[in-house]
Chain A
Amino acid sequence: MPETLSPARRALRHPLLWPVLALAVLLVVNVIATPTFLNIRIQDGHLYGNLVDIVRNSAPVLLIALGMTLVIATRGIDLSVGAIAAIAAAVACTRIVAAGDEAALSTAVMAVTYAVVVCVLLGAWNGFLVSVAGIQPIIATLILMVAGRGISMAITDGQITTVNNPYFSDLASGYVLTLPVAFILALAVFALTALLTRRTALGMLIEAVGINPEASRLAGVRARTIIWTVYAFSGFCAGVAGLVIAANTNSVNANSLGLWIELDAILAVVIGGTSLAGGRFSLTGTLVGALFIATLARTIPNIGIPSEANYLFKAVVVIAVCLLQSPRARALLRVRRRGPVVPVLAKGTAA
């Protein structure tokens, strides 16, 4: 068919339409419940307000979801990100505590570098299991999801480790140019990911492997290297997220840090419009998805949902968003509105 669409129709077809719309609806609901919800004020040169909290709180999920987006684009999944985040926090905190000058800048830099390197290696381990050993991604990363908690418990001796380093805690609660450091950090990783995938050929090769692995192999694409790279990158993102979470409380509890965050990250990716079947991915979509999840977490207390119904409410909203995105569900809605339409029989192609 000829592609002559009006601007309005083109906007309706834009893949970011539904996630952005869902986010807007959520904000409107909040404004109805609390008219001052969107207010932002400046205090001590920092921005304050619900929106600022939302962007700061979205940082860990956004960080992890960026790595997850690339993994999912290769037809994979990374369940170990929560555990890797806990390991990053455990490594950094024990390093800081063990250092001679606990509060020094050099201590913080050393601890953060140490933790990030460990996480990249753990991600590479996942990549090894998937690309070389040929284990299904869900199983390969499940191993580290379970073992990683044990590793971080072992690093912290099962204790809640508290640190006292102002530079480290700035990762979560600091401000630069009136904005929270955590969000700026997440945006920086977002920009890094975009550069890494769209300025090099990595993005195109990731998508090719995700869409048609056999055609890519026959075209000479080194799928093994690509897959290894995305899992290592996912490990890196999870590590940075773990540091932000630990800096927020200046402590690490290996049992609970980053628990179930992999599910939020996967949700952010899916809400952002990247298909779990692999292939084309949208980093901007993931950004919107992560903001949506952070906004949702804020909405629950704001509109007075009792904390017992917390998870149930979240589930209902997520189902609604996913249904809105599903072309088949939308087609069903249309049939209802306009009366019966003869369904088009999917025929596949000639053998």
Chain B
Amino acid sequence: MKISLRWLSDYIDINDYFTKTAELSALLTGAGLEVESIENLAAQYNHVVIGHILKKEQHPNADRLTLCQVATGDGVVHQIVCGARNHNEGDNVVVALPGAILPGGFLIKHSKIRGVESGGMLCSKKELGLPDDGVDGIVLLPKDAPVGKPFAQYMGFDDILLDLKVTANRADCLSHFGLAREIACLLGREVKFPIETMTEQGSTREQIKLSLVASDMCPRYTGRGIRGVKVGPSPQWLQKRLEAVGMNTINNVVDATNFVMMELGQPLHAFDASKLLGKQVIVDRSKPGEKFTTLDGTELTLDGTELTIRDAERAVVLAGVIGGKNSGVDETTTDIFLEAAFFLPSAVRRTARKFGIETDSSYRFARGTNPEAVALALNRCAQIIQKVAGGEILGEAYDLYPNRIAREPIEISLQTITDRLGFKVNADEFAMWMKRLGCEVNVNVQTSSTSPAWSILPPLFRWDLSVDMDLIEEFARLHGYQHIPESIPALESMPATDELSYRVEERIRRILQGEGCLQAINYAFLSAQFQQETLGSLDKLKALGLRTGAEPVALMNPLNEEIGAMRTSLMPGLIKNLIYNSRNGNPYGRLFELGFGHFKDGGDYPQEARLGFAFWGQEPNLWSKSNAPTVVALKGVVENMLRELGFAKWKWVALNSQTAPDFVHPGQAASLVLEGKSIGFIGTLHPSLATEHKVRETSAVGELLLEKLVASQPRPLKYQPISKMPAVDRDLAFVMPKELPVQDVEAEMRKTAGDLLKDVRVFDVYEGTGLQPGQRSVAFRLLFQAKDATLEDAQINELRDKVVKAASDKFGITLR
């Protein structure tokens, strides 16, 4: 909210703070009214003065420029080159001297223009940051303009503007008088409001018949007529006030209502009385289906719940929010019915939110205005209208306030204040601040305890004060947060442990970091279309153990469709990252992400924790020229992670075109089976997807159900004694069909050989010359070792033969 210091000075003496704005800012910020910026209107016209053109000649080297001798008082004359054409000798002008920084940051310096010295600039309105009136050339001031006077002083630009961040609880500070009252409390100064006597003629009741029907939403409604006004532009003083706080001027009547709103925080509305059909004003709910056109031309359909101000036939105002096109004040208006009311904050907010209309009026009503100040504001506004637009103020004003709003006193003890703030509070200081706030303070004599206690009645303009904690906060901020000591509470509870999912995620992050992976974080929402296009068939994902939803959970009010729906999988986001990196010249990388899939389930929106991967390219390495496919590297990373998490057993099941997700290569994909259930998959990014997005690097992606990794309890680690007996190895190379998984052959060998077979390792895979098409040779190294005996050659060979026979019998494969 913009605050003018000049305007504030109408109610409180703060002249000393015009030169100490930083102190004022610290005072307000320290009291919870954060000053976001300070604008000194005079400062932007430093070194800008009124000058008088003594002499005007043609510039010797330029046809379009003139050379002026400009006096700025005290006998000082400046030579200034000027490009304008509207000035003459004897004119009074605005001169920006060297050192001036004009609005927009334009610094004026001594310079040479086309070989001639120029010591300043003659300014146009635009250069001065003033509203452009369409006149070409520099500003010409009247003959009596005092030469040499600072321009800011001449124009009355001597104000200082504060931009104040008023929190939602401090509706009482949304006006100049309200803020003056707050400053008076902080500084212990007087605050005064100008009350003038009002002359009334005639009767409001003869002009308009008022009825308050919906008093549940409008506890108080006041109204008064003004007759014979002349609508036109506002006088300078009024325009300047409104412009200073960033409001547009409309006409003198509307400006007067806005002035009082900015002065007292009470929004008002002026009706053209002649437009009120049946000479009636009714405060009531709308009619269902009723149309209402706002004064800016938007047509709304009302539903019967909104509070409206109506005439005999129709809604004329959406109460507290915005006026109607059908009843506003315009140039032809002569008779006015002026409204000031207290509307229920929730009623105004509901209507404003529903139609997405926020006005200065709805903003204030929604935060809570002061019901006691309604009549004061009405009369103040009537007087100002009379002052700026003439006319007669009608007597017999309305003031319908059927159930006066009362406040309950708040009971509070010094002990409570001391306990909550953590230091010994002085009783007198507390009572002093409460009084300065405008509270009625009564010492509670009935308390039996030795600690003083009070019964405190807050002023009606402080709607936010209703319980003891509210008063403790008031005291704390007035006493100063900086004066509260610091302590650390003693730990009485047993320290609990982190939630399991957080701990496992933290471990996974560290494990994967060790595997050379980079953690990605994507938005939890993404384009629904991109998700659906990328993921393809959801049934396949579901069969792999990942939850799916027919369509992503959509946001009702997304910022845009690109981030319009919650993720059902981490894959689309990671694939996007992969494409982004590939396009931005990052030829290799390993990303992982911990996140959620979101789904709709009846009226609930469950989330499923996931771990996703996207690997692409290969780091060029001096030492290993391995051409292992990216997806194999991904498999290794997943296995290392499982091992480090404490899992000993898992299985990969090859996928095919029927089972692999649509975005992976059907021949290079596998699902991960843990404890008998698929918990996700890995696979090479589908070549057509890679081509479509111009990803040249071989890429692999994968997604796992994180919940399973968290919830499955790996078997506790148990030590195995190291055998001291010699180990013997035997190499076997089988020729086998390419589609036979090596994992199955290995399992069969282990099963057949039993405990004596300590380890099986694949050390070579060969395809090509010497082998039938579709066949490959896989070389295994088998390591045999007994716990307590040296194995004889014969024994090992027998075992080897048994293994070979079992594999041959089961898979029909032979030794190479």
- Say whether A and B bind each other: no
